[in-house]
Structure 1
Amino acid sequence: MMDLPPEGSCDEDDFGSGPPAYRRLISRSFTQTEVTRLIEKAFTRPDEIDDLRGDDAQTFIDVLDEALERIDLSPQLRGECLNTLCKICGRRALLPRSAAIPLCCDRSGTALYQGGFADVWKGEHQGRQVAVEVLKVYSRSNIEKITSRFLWEVIAWKSLHHPNVLPLLGVTMDQTLSLFATTSEWMENGNINKFIKNHQDANRFELLNDVARGLVYMHSQSMIHGDLKGINILIDQDGHACLAGFSLLTIVSDPTSPTVSSSYRGGAGTTRWMSPELLDPDQYGIRDSRPTKESDAYALGMVILEVLSGRFPFSQFRDVVVMRMVLDGIRPERPNGPEGVWFTDDLWRLLASCWESQRERRPTIEAILEFLEHISSAWQPPAPQVDEDVEMGEDDWDIRTTTSDSSGSA
């Protein structure tokens, strides 16, 4: 932790002359106000930051990490700090010291959950059960790209602190061993799809409120989730939903601008939850397929459908067909039968607005949350019975199914 001395310990002249701001920032302790001002000054000379190496780079990383954790930065400055931290960590293959922990699981046996891009093991950290997700690395030919993408993801995830966002407990990385692992709390209840199947009486609107609250928070922190779907929503021991699956996180440098950082790999995502402009940006006159707040709103509409109906979107069609349907303006049909009780006229109009082809016409996450909270407080229909033979369509725990592949195609 930074040893912050009393206010006023630094003269005004310290900010206008002498070594570059980044050098003064890493060479001694300052007050919170002074740290903020020095960070702002350092960002006026990004070439000096890019030149940092070795111990200087590690110290600068730790200072930025500390500032993000402890200092109330403006949204724009926070976004710049986070972008800079992700970039320098990726370029120098360094973690903040506060994030690094030893591997917390025994991999001599078989992973509990196996996916195409990662395996999940159950382990223990500081006396608590944890989930350790270990990235599969099939080739070392692009290890630098793999490292950079991994670090970008974990640095962004580490900065999130909210009851409805799965916290990152630590990171294990060893390029020599091609070891990249994240450690988070073990969620015995699994994902939201598994939970509602095992708890038919669960208040699904309250769970959806949790999801929306987590998204509102992320957006307030200049973050876009980018891969919202049922298997990326885990249920904690108290029955609350937490957002997970942050392999496609993007960071908005300027919260007032739709432009996001270059962290996103265009075309990645999960087809059934992806908005049309992500599937084919050219059709919508968009330069690239980076996720936005509006694409998160589209995906949230699909999650509402998924959770209330007990089926994934377009469950009767293959992905390639779904993509064509979405680009042609076709959206899921309104459920009927037992699960149709959830879908009132007002709710279906909300979902239709979430799925608008023109992203600027979609509601904000705040508006969706307000609607869900009203429904939750006013009406609780009986939980529908879902056919036991209906498959949700994805592995319950493969929460990295859409991250950049380990052969280096990031």
Structure 2
Amino acid sequence: MEHEVAPLEEVLQRITQLELRQMLIDKSTLKVGMHFAELAETIIRSSTNNRKTSFWNHLKERIEWMSKHNNVCSLAYSAKFRTDIRMLLQDFGYNDSIKIQKVFLEDDQIISHLFREVVHSGKEEILHLRDEKATGFMDALHKCIMASDDIPFVLPARRLLKDLCAAAKAFPPILFLELDSVDTNRQIGRGGFADIFLGRYKGQDVVLKRLQVYRPEPSEMLKFSKGLLQEVLTWVHLKHPYVLPFFGLDEQSFESYPPCIVTPYMCNGTMIDFVKTRNGTLPDRRVDQLLFETAQGLAYLHSQNIVHGDLRGGNVLIDDREHAQIADFGLATVTDATRGATSTTQRGSLRWMAPELLDHELQFKRTKASDVYAFACLCIEIYTGEQPFPSIQPDVAVIFQVRGQKRPLRPSGSGLLGGARAISDGLWAIVEACWAHKPSDRPDMATVLGLIMASS
């Protein structure tokens, strides 16, 4: 049920007369910024600053301006309003940080409440926001999503944010970072979909992923940017110990490219390199633990309806505590947008691809089931230190093996093809289940987690 909003004159009269506490109790005046009137009461009653009349007039002017807007517009302008308030307090010399924080938290609660209303009831108006209103709304909604664990709110809020960004053809400004420095002349790596550069952000090392664009025509760039936008807006809201965090975007370092993705720098490199360099000193149980962590991260992505698309040892990083961090999920899908529709034009790691992705008679579509197949190949890769089918060259020859239902040999711990480690019976059974020829015969990742725990 919608609340009736008190007339503006009545609200302003209450403010002017400092009848603020009663006004705040009155739910009919639930508006972004109204709690700052309570802060003004405290300041004016306790301050000896001879500029308090000027302070009050400026604050009243801002509150009056906010009160004129409906809920959608007030949320869009909330960040600007709060910035103005901070500057006003600083200029006045008021520095009671505890009181200021309390009022800002109260305002946060109002903003959160109003977002829960407009996400369901104001979608049409929201999707017509443009320019400053659109970007202001994006930033405020992004902050609200990041602060919430309420799944019934978060999921539709994420969808709404993506839809607004697509309609306004813009990223939330809050996602763009001002990096300390970037070494644009030295590429430190190259993945299947991105060139890697090292930078610094707030005093720590970060990685910039400059995505490879194969068709720079404006129409293709637009398609590419829309795909990148969707993946970034998914990634930024993910929270899992075995999923690489997303820091933000950089659009300053490389002109004529889409924005670079900025992530933490992982000092231990990729999983495959980490295991190789410690061969002989890394126990099998630690290798199994890394695979289990990867499985947990992948299961989480799937629970969020995210397909990785290019899971392999080079796309799982190891952090400074030597735990797995799944990276580069969704980038395969983004770059697919700039390619043709057949399997022969799709990019990615062919030796980790499920048979349905190698069949030119089928529509090429990366799925959770193809991720499960890739996880099986990852297990073989980590145990052998080799890519799947290392003795078969060239890559295209692998297609005939996989479509003919051939699979890599079981690592036995002896010889090149046998691998440097012997895989256990329990893990081998899981691998065989995961690379079943038919997608429908493969377990989902939640089931795989259960199988791993049961076999350990």
TM above 0.5, yes or no, is yes
After TM superposition, the structure 1 = structure 2 runs for residues 9-408 of structure 1, keeping only pairs within 5 Å, are 9=27, 22-23=72-73, 25-26=75-76, 30-43=110-123, 45=124, 48-74=125-151, 78-107=154-183, 109-114=185-190, 117-136=193-212, 140-142=216-218, 143-173=221-251, 177-179=255-257, 180-200=259-279, 201-202=281-282, 203-248=286-331, 267-280=346-359, 282-283=361-362, 288-317=363-392, 318-338=394-414, 339=419, 342-376=422-456
Which AA in structure 2 matches 1:81?
Answer: A
Deviation by residue 1:249-271 (Cα, 9 ceiling, x = unmatched): 779xxxxxxxxxx9998644322
Tell me which moved more, 144-153 or 237-246. Answer: 144-153
Alpha-carbon distance in 1 for matches of 2:339, 2:214: 21
Query: Alpha carbons of 1:40 and 1:290: their partners in 2 closer, same or farther (altered >3 Å)?
Result: farther
Shift of 1:80: 4.0
Alpha-carbon distance in 1 for matches of 2:398, 2:264: 34
Alpha-carbon distance in 2 for matches of 1:195, 1:40: 47
For the Cα contact (< 8 Å) 2:119–2:156, is it kept in 1? no
**Higher helix proportion (structure 1 or 2):** 2
Query: Alpha carbons of 1:7 and 1:107: their partners in 2 closer, same or farther (altered >3 Å)?
Result: farther
Which AA in structure 2 matches 1:238?
Answer: R
Query: Alpha carbons of 1:312 and 1:42: their partners in 2 closer, same or farther (altered >3 Å)?
Result: farther
For the Cα contact (< 8 Å) 1:226–1:292, is it kept in 2? yes
Alpha-carbon distance in 2 for matches of 1:60, 1:129: 31
Alpha-carbon distance in 2 for matches of 1:330, 1:243: 27
Alpha-carbon distance in 2 for matches of 1:191, 1:38: 43
Which AA in structure 2 matches 1:274?
Answer: M
Deviation by residue 1:93-120 (Cα, 9 ceiling, x = unmatched): 4222331112443335322224675332
- TM-score of the pair, normalised by structure 1: 0.74
Work out the percentage of aligned pairs sharing the same amino acid.
30
Deviation by residue 1:335-388 (Cα, 9 ceiling, x = unmatched): 334337532333222211111122222112122223334445xxxxxxxxxxxx
Alpha-carbon distance in 1 for matches of 2:199, 2:169: 25
Which AA in structure 2 matches 1:277?
Answer: E
Query: Alpha carbons of 1:174 and 1:155: their partners in 2 closer, same or farther (altered >3 Å)?
Result: farther
Which AA in structure 1 matches 2:412?
Answer: N
Which structure has the bigger radius of gyration? 2
Counting matched residue pairs gives 350
Alignment RMSD (CA, Å): 3.5
Alpha-carbon distance in 1 for matches of 2:26, 2:240: 33
Choose between structure 1 and 2 for higher RCO, CA contacts under 8 A separated by at least 6 residues: 1
Alpha-carbon distance in 2 for matches of 1:350, 1:152: 33
Alpha-carbon distance in 2 for matches of 1:78, 1:249: 25
Alpha-carbon distance in 2 for matches of 1:64, 1:176: 28
Query: Alpha carbons of 1:320 and 1:263: their partners in 2 closer, same or farther (altered >3 Å)?
Result: closer
Instruction: Provide structure 1 residue ranges, at least 5 long, that are not aligned to the other structure.
Output: 1-5, 13-17, 252-261, 377-410
For the Cα contact (< 8 Å) 2:72–2:118, is it kept in 1? yes
Query: Alpha carbons of 1:249 and 1:89: their partners in 2 closer, same or farther (altered >3 Å)?
Result: farther
Instruction: Provide structure 2 residue ranges, at least 5 long, that are not aligned to the other structure.
Output: 1-23, 31-67, 79-106
Structure 1 match to 2:20: none
- TM-score of the pair, normalised by structure 2: 0.67
